[in-house]
Amino acid sequence: MLKRVNRVALIGTGFVGSSYAFALLNQGITEELVLIDLNKEKAEGDAMDLNHGLPFAPTRTQIWYGDYQDCGDADLVVITAGANQKPGETRLDLVEKNTKIFKGIVSEIMASGFDGIFLVATNPVDILTYAVWKFSGLPKERVIGSGTILDTARFRFLLGDYFDVDTRNVHAYIIGEHGDTELPVWSHADIAGTSISEWTKNKDAVNKEDLNQIFLNVRDAAYHIIERKGATYYGIAMGLVRLTKAILRNENSVLTVSAYLNGEYGQNDIYIGVPAVVNRKGVREVVELELNDVEKEKFSTSVKVLKETMEPVFKNI
Ligand code: NAD
């Protein structure tokens, strides 16, 4: 009997999708990868190009361009399709356009018999993850958004750079909306188990303003990159691969994803960025950090902004 292999279906082979496919292939995470895009020629061209790299890949991956029928046997469907931010546009500006696109995409995927896990990256990611959950009818655990995985990575990189410590030894989360109302959880930020306030003690060169500026640079990073090169894609692509690995290899890894809150953090009926344990079944559980009062208030504001943006959109659908 043939051994069952992992299949990832990627919807949207634009900047983010094709960078994800490239990173996935380079890390040898899945045995099968099917590329689907409205622009069939782009997906076909990407499949050809990626296949030509196979002799240099760590493992064998079967890559082809396909259609929604191919999602029926997929373990994971990753959605990076839709409009991206233009210079000056916020992520929330994209909501109506992309929710409509998603209605069509998700109904085609479900019609294929898909019964796996959804991973969403298209913006505004928290709202579109909620939309996928609603449109698909799948359990909340099996619909995951990339949430603040990228913002958290940016935060860890910038803190590591500032303190001159390997970013992998910096543990600090950005939670909330993947967007302008996100917040840093300074109360739980640490370097090698030492809180940031302890680490900065007796270091005259470190000041609070610098730390605040680091957060602002995280929050506004997409604007800074889009001004320079029109889009952001490598960081998120690697974050999506990290999530794919956590899912397909049943890692129980804690990653900041857009997860459904059902009472956690005192919130209900919302997908938003929080740390969560991710494994082969999706989100095993949300990690509830003990936030201080300032953080609690900022998190509530973030939830409120998302809910206010979502309300009119879901009323019309
Ligand atoms: P892009 O324009 O390069 O690619 C979008 C792709 O979607 C295109 O290839 C297009 O043909 C395809 N598409 C559009 N409608 C479709 C449909 N109905 N069915 C199938 N395919 C369709 O955009 P991009 O730069 O790759 O960005 C994609 C999305 O990812 C945007 O919403 C962007 O804001 C988001 N993004 C998210 C993060 C994050 O952290 N979550 C980071 C960067 C970008």
Please confirm, yes or no, whether 52 is among the known catalytic residues. Answer: no
Torsional sign, CA 45, 46, 49, 55? negative
For 134, half-sphere exposure in the C-beta direction (CA atoms, 13 angstrom radius) is 19
Q: Which atom of ligand 1 is nearest to the CA of 18?
A: 26
CB-based contacts of 174, cutoff 8 Å, min separation 6: 148, 151, 152, 154, 155, 182, 183, 184, 185, 218, 256, 273
- Tokens of residue 60, six digits: 């064998």
Q: Which atom of ligand 1 is nearest to the CA of 19?
A: 26
Question: Which residues of the chain, if any, have pLDDT below 50?
Answer: none
- Atom 14 of ligand 1 has which residue's CA nearest to it? 82
* Residues near ligand 1 (Cβ within 6 A): 11-17, 37-39, 42, 80-85, 94, 101, 104-105, 121-123, 125, 146, 150, 178, 231-233, 236
Give the Å distance between the CA of 87 and the centre of ligand 1.
Answer: 15
Quote the pLDDT of residue 208: 86
pTM: 0.96
Cα separation, 36 vs 71, in Å, equals: 10
| Torsion on CA atoms 17, 18, 21, 22, rounded to nearest 10 | -140
Quote the pLDDT of residue 138: 98
Phi and psi at residue 167, to the nearest 5°: -55, -25
Q: Which position among 52, 178, 188, 224 bears the catalytic label? A: 178
Contact criterion met (CB below 8 Å) for 149 and 121: no
DSSP structure string for 10-29:
EE--SHHHHHHHHHHHHHT-
Quote the pLDDT of residue 86: 81
Give the Å distance between the CA of 179 and the centre of ligand 1.
Answer: 16
Q: Given the DSSP bridges, would you call strands 174-175 and 7-11 parallel, antiparallel or unpaired?
A: unpaired
Give the Å distance between the CA of 170 and the centre of ligand 1.
Answer: 30
Quote the pLDDT of residue 3: 66
- 123, 127, 144, 242: which to mutate for ligand 1, most atoms within 8 A of CB? 123
